[in-house]
Structures are given as structure tokens and as C-alpha cells.
Amino acid sequence: MAPCARMKKISTLPPFSKGQPQPATVASRPVNRCDQLGAHPFSDTQDGLFRAYLSDAYAATCKQVATWMGEAGMTCHTDAAGNLIGRYEGEKPGAPALLIGSHLDTVRNAGRYDGTLGVMLGIEVVAHFAARGERLPFALEVIGFGDEEGSRFSASMLTSRAVAGTLDALPLSAVDANGATLHDVLVHNGLDPARYLEAAYKPQQVLAYLEAHIEQGPVLEAANMSVGVVTAIAAQYRFRVSIQGVAGHAGTMPMSLRQDALAAAAEAILAIERLGAAGPEDLVATVGQLHVGPGASNVVPGETTFSLDIRAGTADVRDRAATAICAALKDIAKKRNVTLSIEPQNDLAATPCDPQLTDLLATSVTHVTGQPARRLVSGAGHDAMVMAALTPVCMLFLRCKKGISHNPAEAVRHDDVHTALQVMLEFIHALAASTASKPTEFSA
């Protein structure tokens, strides 16, 4: 029996949450909890939301989320990488687990639902089964990953890579904005850097991975659909680009003799924009950070550093764009007589979601909504793309207002969150029925 299939969608709640307290219904509780976690002490800043990996705000968040996990019927622990994990045992203790996860860290000046909402929905799923005393052929584990965004140190998805067993070495010398090394931050938080990789799961411990996440794009809203099913996650490249020129007095350095690192960077950024726009629709190229030195109004800039993010639905499109962009930047550096350095930071392949799990999730969407599931590619990266190295993965997208994300204007509808919860419960019941009838085999 799948009671979630008969649950009614709530239509009397406000269309989008903007942080106002709402009645404590099944639909609003995950949203209200995200809103509660959107301010100090769960933010490292007094104004707006920024929750960095292993910061004081992160510690406060884990403490609060662990309380909610306990109330939902889970036992909780923090793993060797600082992830928060809650477990609800299956019919047999120690059974492999369906992992339900997303991340608890944020970008600077963030919205409240990116990542965090997926964790809150996972807690709500477990609360549903625990309240009914219902055990499944597999365990449920809800994971709040600590570092998906990479907003504190130079590398992203450190903690999901640790769990998936794909992190070969830890960048212990990486420093944050305050000059603290990852090594020292780990020690300060009671974590042993030498044991970090012990966070890895063995494949036999895991059945599959499910992640619910706001779309971070406008497709579902344009189609007037509450939820969608992700078929793949786009391939990504991230680079750190440095341009070294010569600093000089702004009043005495002739324009014709300048080696202006910022002017070179400006031309490079326009070239990146042009080449990104020249490719297929799924290709995007972004410069999101720019640092200028020495940073004085009367000095010709002598050095610049900027980020470069290239994404596409396939590795082939991404790689061709990266090659063209790097060639263009080298030409600009040569023409302007500056030194160029392009350092790879992340190389993430396109990640197809497991076809069988995706079909099962799509069927669950249809059962709950009465409509065919919208299937779409995620241009944003998620922990699911890392977890695919460990276990089959699937993703459920939720509509977000105007597709806005990584922005305080992030907003979700309570009835969409309720629909997502129904879909997740329907999916788990269907997965349990399949697992109980025969050993479930998913594609690798």
C-alpha cells in the first residue's frame, strides 16, 4: 500500500515562502525549518545567509538538525569529514541504506533552500515512516553534506567526495579568507585530518542515493509544474586564472607602455562571455570572482586573479569550449604582453542519473500529480554527481520562483514541497516493493 499516493496537496498555503512563519503542517515544516536556519546563529553573517563548512554557524546548524533528526526517529552521528548523518534502521539492523541527502553549507549572501531543503525533506520522509512504526527492507540515511559549494576553501564537494571514496588526498594546506588552513580548521572542530577519508562508504552498505533540490532554473515554473526528474548533471570545469602585468603610477605610465593586468582580464572576460554564448544552449561560461592588485585608485593594476566556470550537458561540448577559451586567453595575454596562468581547480564529468531509478521516480511523479514527469538536465552541480561513483543516483527537482538561486530571493511554494514529499514517499514505497520481491539490481 502507498498511502502517500492518496495524500491531498495543500492549496491554501501562501504561493511562495519568503521567510514568514507558517502553520506547522507537513508541507510547511521543511520550509519553516529552512527559514529558521537562514539567520544568525545559523549564519556566519548577521545580515543575510552565509554558512561556511566547519564554521561556528555550521556547527550550530548541525546541532539543530541533529535534534530534528532525533525527533524524527533517527540515530545521529558526525562522520570523519564533518558530515551530519541520521539513520533509520530497516527491517533488519545493518541493512544497506537508501541515502537521502543534500548539503548544509551555502554560498555568500545565499538563499535559504538551496541544499538545506533536500535535507529537511529527508528528515520528513523518515518522520513519516517512524510515526507509523513502518520499517523497510532497507535502512534510510539522511546526510547533510558539509562542503558542496566550496565557498570556504578552494575545492568544492570535499565531503561528498570523501563519502563516495573518490577523494584521493585532502588539500590540507588550502586556506580560507582569514588565512586558516583546512588542517587547522579540522583540528579546531575535533576532526582528525589523518582519518578524513574514513568517511567513505563501502558499496555494499548502500542501495542508492536520492537527492531533492530546488531547480535553480526557470524550466519548471515556465511549464507550471511543481516537480521534475533530473536525467543528468552537466559536466563542469573550474579554473583559477591569473594575469601578471606591471603595476605603475596611474599618472606617469603612458597608455602605450602599460601592461595592465585588469584591462587584460576585462578583455578576457568578454571573450569568455562571447565564446560561452556561441555554443549550444546547454553551454555556459561564467566568471564569478575577480581580485585586483594592488587595488589602489592611482596605480595601474599589476595582477588579477579570476574564476572561470565552464559547464555543458556533455563533456565533449564542455571540452571544446574550454579549449577555445584557453586559446583566446593566451592570445590576449600575448597581445597585451602580460603573463597568463590557467590552473585547473575541478574537473567534473557529466553524470547521467540511473535510468531505472529515474524511471521509478518519474512514475512516482505521475502517480502523485496525474501528469507525465518533466525530465531535465541539471546545469548546476550537486552532491549526486559525486555520489554516482559509489551508488546509483536519482534527483528530484522542485520549482523555485523565477528560477532564482544563490540569492536571498530564493523562494519555494509550500504545496510544491508537499508534492515533493509525496513523490519521495511514493518512490520509496515502490523501491521497497521491488526490493522485497527480488534483489534489486541497478545499472552501475
Cα radius of gyration (the chain): 23
Instruction: Give the whole-number percent of the chain exceeding pLDDT 70.
Output: 92
Asked if pLDDT for residue 18 goes beyond 70, the answer is no
Given a cut of 80, is residue 401 above it in pLDDT? yes
Confidence of residue 349 (pLDDT cuts 50, 70, 90): confident
pLDDT of residue 281: 79
CATH number (domain holding residue 336): 3.30.70.360
- At 350, the pLDDT band (50, 70, 90 cuts) reads confident
Higher pLDDT, 342 or 437: 342
Q: How confident is the model at residue 368 (pLDDT cuts 50, 70, 90)?
A: very high
Mean pLDDT over 27-56 rounds to: 95
Place of cell 523497510: 136
Question: Into how many domains does the chain fold?
Answer: 2
- Domain identity same for 119 and 15: yes
Residue 103 contacts residue 383 (beta carbons within 8 Å): yes
Per-residue pLDDT of 409-442, as tens digits, reads: 999 999 999 999 999 999 999 999 998 766 544 4
What's the average model confidence in pLDDT over 239-267? 97
SS3 (DSSP) at 103: strand
Quickly state the pLDDT bin for 16 (edges 50, 70, 90).
Answer: low
Contact 310, 285 (CB under 8 A): yes
How far apart are alpha carbons 114 and 173 in whole angstroms? 28
Contact 112, 56 (CB under 8 A): no
- 32 by DSSP, 3-state: which? helix
Residue 250 inside a domain? The answer is yes
- Asked whether residue 88 falls in the same domain as residue 171, the answer is yes
Looking at 348, 378, 412, the residue that finishes a domain is 348
Residue 260 · residue 336 · CB < 8 Å: yes
pLDDT at position 79: 98
Q: Which pLDDT belongs to residue 437? A: 66
Based on the domain organization, do 18 and 145 belong to the same domain? yes
The average confidence (pLDDT) of the chain is 92
- Does the residue 134 lie in any domain? yes
Exposure pattern of 238-266 as b/e (b: 16+ CB <10 Å)?
bbebbbbbbbbeeeebeeeebbbbbbbbe
Quick one: pLDDT at residue 155? Answer: 82
- 245 shares its domain with 211: no
3-state secondary structure (DSSP) of residue 175? strand
Does the structure show a pLDDT above 50 at 10? no
Element containing residue 303 per DSSP (H, E): strand 303-312
Which residue range(s) make up the domain with 321?
A: 235-348
Between 61 and 27, the more confident residue is: 61
Is residue 255 domain-shared with residue 172, that is, in the same domain? no
What local confidence, expressed as pLDDT, does residue 313 receive?
80
Q: Which of 287, 317, 348 is the last residue of a domain?
A: 348
Residues 248 and 186 in one domain: no
pLDDT on residue 1: 32
Residue 59 or residue 17, greater confidence = 59
CATH number for the domain including 111? 3.40.630.10
What mean pLDDT is predicted for residues 73-85? 98
Q: Are residues 18 and 102 in the same domain?
A: yes
Check pLDDT > 50 for residue 21. Answer: no
pLDDT, mean of residues 90-112: 97
In this prediction, residue 426 carries a pLDDT of: 98
Q: What is the pLDDT of residues 116-138, one digit of tens each?
A: 999 999 999 999 999 999 999 99
If asked whether residues 184 and 222 sit together in one domain, one would say yes
One domain for residues 74 and 182 = yes
**Is 210 in the same domain as 249?**
no
pLDDT of residue 6: 27
Domain boundary pick from 348, 373, 402: 348
Contacts of 422 (CB under 8 A, 6+ apart): 4, 5, 7, 9, 368
Q: Is the CB of residue 374 less than 8 Å from the CB of residue 228?
A: yes
pLDDT at 26: 65
Is 115:103 a contact under the CB 8 Å cutoff?
yes
pLDDT score at 25: 62
Q: Mean of the pLDDT values across residues 391-404? A: 97
In a domain, 443, yes or no: no
Does residue 11 register a pLDDT over 70? Answer: no
Buried b (16+ CB within 10 A) or exposed e, 392-407: bbbbbbbbbbebbbbe
Q: Which residue has the higher pLDDT, 26 or 16?
A: 26
78 to each of 62, 146, 337, 348, how far by Cα in Å? 9, 10, 51, 26
pLDDT bucket at 377, cuts 50 / 70 / 90: confident
**The pLDDT value given to residue 189:** 97
- Write the DSSP symbol of residue 135: -
pLDDT tens-digit map of 206-223: 999 999 999 999 999 999
pLDDT, mean of residues 394-406? 97
pLDDT of 145 > 80? The answer is: yes
Q: pLDDT category, 12, cuts 50, 70, 90?
A: very low
